[in-house]
């Protein structure tokens, strides 16, 4: 999906919620859309400030929540209160492997895992609408560095 279409969809989402379309909210969307990696709310707040916006930290956090709620972004819980965001609108579903040592995030897609999740949902008469799978462990580089010590 192109940025203009995403903007129009976000504006419609805000109006549907009875919220105003503001310059600050649109800037957060634009910055999130221009980033192809994972980012934190604090990183987003820094980017907004660098652009000279007077948006408050609270505005950035609330806008990120609105973007997650509207399926523009996904939120990846990292524990200890840290959340990583990535834009997902128009992207294929994927899951994540995260290195607990260096923080490396590897994205992957595996059809066998997808089928198994759907099968488990059916077995429990559960209607699956979405899912998030995060595998945590230690990447090859960090394991090699540990072994060398």
Q: The CATH number of the domain where 133 resides is what?
A: 3.30.1490.190
H or E element at residue 131: none
* Same domain for 63 and 10: yes
Maximum Cα interatomic distance, the chain, rounded to a whole number of Å: 58
pLDDT tens digit string along 45-92? 999 999 998 899 999 999 999 999 998 999 988 766 789 999 887 677
Instruction: Answer yes or no: is pLDDT of 23 > 80.
Output: yes
pLDDT for the residue 79: 66
In sign, the C-alpha dihedral spanning 15, 40, 72, 24 is positive
Total domains in the chain come to 2
DSSP state, residue 137: E
Q: Which range of residues forms the domain containing residue 69?
A: 3-87
Q: HSE on the CB side for 85, CA within 13 Å?
A: 28
* Same domain for 7 and 76: yes
- Listed in sequence order, the DSSP H helices in 35-139 are 41-50, 57-69, 111-123
Q: Is the CB of residue 84 less than 8 Å from the CB of residue 40?
A: yes
Q: What percentage of the chain has pLDDT greater than the value 70? A: 96
């Amino acid at each position: 999906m192109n940025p203009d279409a995403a903007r129009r969809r976000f504006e419609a989402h805000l109006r549907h919620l009875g919220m105003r379309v503001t310059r600050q909210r649109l800037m957060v969307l634009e910055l999130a859309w221009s980033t192809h990696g994972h980012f934190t709310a604090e990183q987003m707040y820094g980017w907004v400030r660098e652009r000279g916006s007077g948006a408050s930290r609270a505005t950035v956090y609330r806008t990120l929540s609105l973007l997650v709620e509207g399926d523009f972004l996904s939120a990846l819980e990292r524990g200890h209160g840290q959340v990583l965001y990535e834009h997902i609108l128009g992207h294929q579903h994927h899951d994540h492997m995260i290195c607990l040592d260096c923080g490396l995030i590897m994205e992957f897609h595996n059809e066998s895992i997808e089928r198994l999740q759907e099968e488990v949902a059916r077995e429990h008469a559960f209607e699956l609408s979405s899912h998030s799978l995060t595998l945590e462990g230690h990447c090859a580089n960090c394991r090699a560095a540990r072994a060398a010590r």
